[in-house]
Amino acid sequence: MATGMQRVPGPRYKHIVDEEAPYATLTVDKLTPIIGAEIGGIDLSQPLSNKAADEIHRALAENLVIFFRDQHLTEEQHLAFGRMFGDLHIHPAAPHAPDHPELMIIHADRNSPRANGEGWHSDVSCDEAPPMGSILYIKTCPPKGGDTLFANMYAAYDALSDRMKQYLEGLTAVHDGEDNYRGTYANFGVKDRPVYPRAEHPVIRIHPVTKRKALFVNRGFTRYIVGLPRDESDGILRYLYEHMAHPLFQCRFRWRENSLAFWDNRCAQHRAMWDYWPHTRSGFRVTVQGDKPY
Ligand code: SIN
């Protein structure tokens, strides 16, 4: 007699791909069935109609990260695009463009001691109300490399066992910016603040737009799960980080100059590859304010 788990057709995690209604103002070309889509037919330097803005919102909700190619934006146009989705966030530590505190500098070159976002994270999850989304515009690319990986945290949640989902339900975790930020931007001449943000958030959050559950802990900022012995919290977080980094939940974006990525920090994590030293990769990020997770 067979022992162990009963085999049913298909992979353990099944992502159901629905037939989608067509878009009127954009083209949407999915990178994978699970996460990521390239958007075409739109020039972000021009004022967007309400319909186009709604469809960008919809494409983000459906794909978690969306990519635009061959965009030619001034700093003001990049900021204006971000403002269509909410108030803009000012990063608690990173350097910014001289006249625009909301325009975060993303830059690595031969002299850099590090590059931004090299580990899996959700942007500034240590804030009480972490950013809803981030809009990265890369103007200078290395000849090869510098890709960004994105991972779907709904899919990571859905693929957990029912026992694990029950265990995590109602737990909260502490997210802290201290280790990430202190001294990190000294090479840009940034002076440290006396304290960096720290906040407690649910381990499983409900996305305010889609109402779907997503795993909301990340290697970059989450320090421990509240109310558990520290060794148990460390073990659970280690398992979740390994689980959520499964390639099945991911896409990988290859940048070209003048590409723009818009990701939803509430349900996606990302990780940047610094595999291009001594070349330069450079651009700006506009970050849109979010709500307190629930
Ligand atoms: C980040 O915003 O975390 C950096 C992402 C990237 O440079 O690709």
Cβ proximity of 104 and 95 under 8 Å: yes
pLDDT digits (tens, 9 = 90+) for 248-272: 999 999 999 999 999 999 999 999 9
pLDDT digits (tens, 9 = 90+) for 146-177: 999 999 999 999 999 999 999 999 999 999 99
Whole-number Å distance between alpha carbons of 24 and 274: 37
DSSP bridge pairs for 206? 213
Cβ proximity of 272 and 116 under 8 Å: yes
107, 201, 207, 270: which is the annotated catalytic residue?
270
Listed range (3-7, 66-70, 87-91, 241-245) with the worst mean pLDDT: 3-7
Q: Which residue has the higher pLDDT, 1 or 81?
A: 81
Edge-first strand order for the sheet with 148-152 is 250-253, 148-152, 268-272
Mean pLDDT of 89-112: 96
Q: What is the DSSP string of 242-282?
A: HHHT-GGGEEEEPP-TTEEEEEETTTEEEEE----TTS-EE
Which H or E run includes 68? strand 65-68
Separation of 272 CA from ligand 1 center, angstroms?
5
Separation of 23 CA from ligand 1 center, angstroms?
28
pLDDT of residue 1: 39
270 is catalytic: yes
Q: How far is CA 262 from CA 60, 112, 145, 149, 276, in A?
A: 8, 25, 19, 13, 22
Whole-number Å distance between alpha carbons of 212 and 46: 33
Give the residue, out of 107, 253, 270, 281, with the most ligand 1 atoms within 8 A of its beta carbon, to mutate for a pocket test.
270
pLDDT of residue 9: 76
Collapsed DSSP state (helix, strand, coil) of residue 72: coil
Strand locations in 72-114 (E) = 96-97, 100-108
pLDDT digits (tens, 9 = 90+) for 16-69: 776 678 999 999 999 999 999 999 999 999 999 999 999 999 999 999 999 999
Instruction: Answer whether residue 11 shows pLDDT above 90.
Output: no
Count Cβ atoms within 10 A of the Cβ of residue 156 and give its class: 0-12 exposed, 13-18 middle, 19 or more buried: buried
Collapsed DSSP state (helix, strand, coil) of residue 223: strand
Mean pLDDT, the chain, as a whole number? 95
Instruction: List, chain by chain if needed, residues with CB within 6 Å of any ligand 1 atom.
Output: 106, 116-117, 123, 134, 136, 148, 270, 272, 285
107 is catalytic: no
pLDDT of residue 119: 96
pLDDT of residue 224: 98
Cβ proximity of 172 and 225 under 8 Å: yes
78, 123, 266, 271: which is the annotated catalytic residue?
123
Closest ligand 1 atom number to CA of residue 255? 8
Q: How far is CA 35 from the centre of its chain?
A: 11
Percent of the chain with pLDDT over 70: 97
Whole-number Å distance between alpha carbons of 140 and 36: 22
Mean pLDDT of 210-225: 97
Which H or E run includes 38? strand 37-40
Instruction: Answer whether residue 4 shows pLDDT above 80.
Output: no
Mean pLDDT of 193-206: 97
Percent of the chain with pLDDT over 90: 93
Which domains are delineated in the chain? 4-288 (3.60.130.10)
Residue type, 27: T
**Residue nearest to ligand 1 atom 2, measured at CA:** 117
Q: How far is CA 48 from CA 25, 52, 131, 151, 196, in A?
A: 10, 6, 22, 28, 36
pLDDT digits (tens, 9 = 90+) for 183-195: 999 999 999 999 9
Separation of 256 CA from ligand 1 center, angstroms?
14
Cβ proximity of 151 and 63 under 8 Å: no
Mean pLDDT of 138-150: 98
